[in-house]
Amino acid sequence: MVPPSFSLNARADIFLFVTELRITVNGDPRSVTGPATLADLLQHLSLDPRAVVVEHNREIVRRPALEVTPLRDGDLVELVHFVGGG
């Protein structure tokens, strides 16, 4: 996949500059190179979008929306899945 920063599709209009985004993922601070979407973040973390649920600033983002949801500086991202429990 062509990185979004070099793509010429409509999304490129949203991202004018390559920036460093400081976000929080599962409670830990992280830096990602922007522009980036939630789908890019999952890919960067080698996570299969089908295996996780993404919460972005307290809102659940469904799978089809991951590719069109841009990350912004200061975003809070939670990536959860099912584990053993009673």
Residues of this chain that bind other proteins (CB under 8 A): 25-28, 45, 47, 51-53, 55, 58, 60, 62, 78-86
Shortest Cβ distance from residue 73 to other proteins (Å)? 20
Structural element, H or E, at residue 41 = helix 38-44
For residue 26, give the 3-state DSSP assignment.
Answer: coil
Could you tell me the smallest distance in angstroms from the CB atom of residue 7 to other proteins? 26
**Cβ of residue 10: shortest distance to other proteins, in angstroms?**
27
Element (H, E) at 65: helix 63-66
Tell me whether residue 8 or residue 83 sits nearer to other proteins (CB atom).
83
Cβ proximity of 34 and 28 under 8 Å: no
For residue 50, the 8-state DSSP code is G
Contact 80, 55 (CB under 8 A): yes
2/29 with CB nearer other proteins: 29
Of 67 and 78, the one with the shorter C-beta distance to other proteins is: 78
